[in-house]
Amino acid sequence: MENASKALIMAAEILIGVMIISIGVFLFNTLGSYSAKTTSQMEETQITQFNNQFLKFYGTSGGETIKCTIHEIVGLVNLAKKNNADNGFTEVQTASDSSYYIQIDLSIGLRTIRNLEALSQEELINLIKENDITTNEAGETVTKYFICEEEPKIGEYTKRVNYMKFVEI
């Protein structure tokens, strides 16, 4: 009788141990999927915030095409430069679906300046000086405006803006 009760106690201990391990595995899986979902949502939010810095200069607002100044474009260029440096790009790259490199082009009249992000700070300052203001037909000094000519390209894999082209209006 004594051996039978010891055997039952041992069986109960084993059963309780298996239950505790099962609960642990269940909690691990549940918390792991919750963590993965939260991490994914955080990454999507970061990408959206990053893209919005660029996309706010594309599209329409109140029925009119969004216009920007050369100062705003140079601000985007500096953001692109910082992003490219942070991702280890030291040379001009071609924007692609799998690349984190950001390329910005600008058309002024018949001249197109490619890879603004590769220009030095001095060249960007000269670009601002040359394209900040102009004189209209009435002889008044007015600010030059630019629009994003085509929809910004967003990488298929990175889901981040990697190319924008602005034109003078």
> pLDDT by residue (tens digit) across 70-89?
999 999 999 999 999 998 88
| More confident: 52 or 91 | 52
Least confident of 32-41, 102-111, 133-142: 133-142
Q: Which two tokens stand for residue 107?
A: 């058309």
Average pLDDT on 138-151 reads 90
Say if residues 147 and 166 touch (Cβ distance below 8 Å): yes
Q: Which residues pair with 113 in a beta bridge?
A: 106
φ, ψ of residue 18 to 5 degrees: the values are: -65, -40
Q: Which two tokens stand for residue 25?
A: 């595995």
Rounded to an integer, what distance in angstroms lies between the CA atom of residue 169 and that of residue 155? 27
Task: Identify the band that residue 60 occupies on the pLDDT scale cut at 50, 70 and 90.
Answer: confident
The owner of tokens 């190319």 is 163
In the chain, domain spans:
1-52, 56-168
